[in-house]
Amino acid sequence: MKKLISFVITSTIICSMFAGCGNNTTDVPQSASSTVSSQGATSSDMRVLQLGHLDPGKDNNAYQVFCTTFKKNLNEISGGKFDIDIFSDAQLGGEREMMEGMKLGTVDMAIITNSYFSNFVPDFMVFDLPYLFADYNAAYRILDDPDVMDPLKEKLYNDCDVKFLDWGNSGFRYIVNTSRPIVNVEDLKGLKIRLPESPLYVETFKALGANPTTMAFSEAFTAVQQKTVDGLEITASAIYTAGYYEICDYLSKTNHFYSPISINMSRSIWDDLTEEEQGWFMEAAAKTKAEQRVAVEGIEKELFDEMGKAIAINEISSIEDFRDAATPAFDYARGKIGDDLVDLVLSKLS
């Protein structure tokens, strides 16, 4: 794989889960939470927590940047009392498994993509509405608004035993495929596009005329190679670090979804922390959010420059046409989460 000079960042869920996270068990790795010695120090000097994520553990991957930056900030803010072991590449399971692991206390911390949150707390679906955010600043304004976020955090904590710490940025999502460039809405007609397990994503791509197919991210690369699907929609960071620009022919800047990611902790870990320690984690998460957002925006520009040497990259003809075609997804969301939250977010964006 071609190398890229990147920014340096200091280095079986069942249906009841969808109605409140459930109480079912699943096979996930045991927690790595422990106290360990560091350079000969006593074991009481440092506590190490595991932090899992789905994406490749590469320095220019948005998920990995989120983790490494948080690790650095937490270590500094806690005065070396806490450290983080990062488990990339779905080593702790997919995001569903990590969510369940946090509920059970077998996974300490995890980076979760917003589209998976909505499977457990449907209200998070509002952030996945197609063409909701015009740019990063609009997304940040809503995601950082306590009127919007506080009730959702409370549901996540009470219903799923997951403590939400803060947001990170993985960028807007684009379509990469082996068949043709997506310039107009009609270009999507009949294309078999891999999607994550998000009903709203499926409804959106149905409305756009595609043939959506849900599957785990870990299976998608082989599916594209074997022509089981024509392509998929993911962020620039994932397209590059997973190597999709090397096996696909077209990358279209559809910007159809913004894809926020978040850092979360098992309630069992959170409740075991002192008030001071909880403050360290919240401070580290807030600092990381600010730094990671800036870093990922810059990395994305460099990734496009690099990928453009190997794959055809195009803009879409009219964002308004795509937004109009995706309107049924808003009706679907309103039917699932009601009008109040959707209208609140839209009013704050107007």
| pLDDT at site 10 | 37
pTM: 0.85
Residue 115 domain-assigned?
A: yes
Residue 2 domain-assigned?
A: no
Residue 83: give the domain boundaries.
15-349
Residue 38 has pLDDT above 80, yes or no: no
| pLDDT at site 224 | 97
| CA 234 to mean position of chain CA atoms | 10
For residue range 316-338, list pLDDT tens digits in order: 999 999 999 999 999 999 999 99
Residue 107 domain-assigned?
A: yes
Split into its structural domains, the chain has a count of 1
Interacting residues of 238 by C-beta distance below 8 A, sequence separation 6+: 55, 61, 62, 170, 217, 244
Residue 137 has pLDDT above 70, yes or no: yes
Residue 203 has pLDDT above 60, yes or no: yes
How many Å apart are CA 4 and CA 343, to the nearest integer?
A: 42
On whether the CB atoms of residues 114 and 153 are closer than 8 A, the answer is no
Confidence tier at 213 by pLDDT (50, 70, 90): very high
| 320 closest CA partner among 191, 125, 130 | 130
Confidence tier at 45 by pLDDT (50, 70, 90): confident
Residue 4 domain-assigned?
A: no
Residue 233 domain-assigned?
A: yes
Average pLDDT of the residues of the chain: 90
| pLDDT at site 13 | 35
Q: What φ, ψ does residue 201 adopt, rounded to 5°?
A: -60, -45
Residue 1 domain-assigned?
A: no
Residue 254 has pLDDT above 60, yes or no: yes
Helices 328-337 + 339-349 axis angle, to 10: 130
Residue 268 domain-assigned?
A: yes
Residue 277 belongs to a domain with what CATH number?
Answer: 3.40.190.170
Burial of 59 (0-12, 13-18, 19+ CB in 10 A): middle
Residue 10 domain-assigned?
A: no
On whether the CB atoms of residues 301 and 238 are closer than 8 A, the answer is no
How large is the average pLDDT for residues 128-135? 97
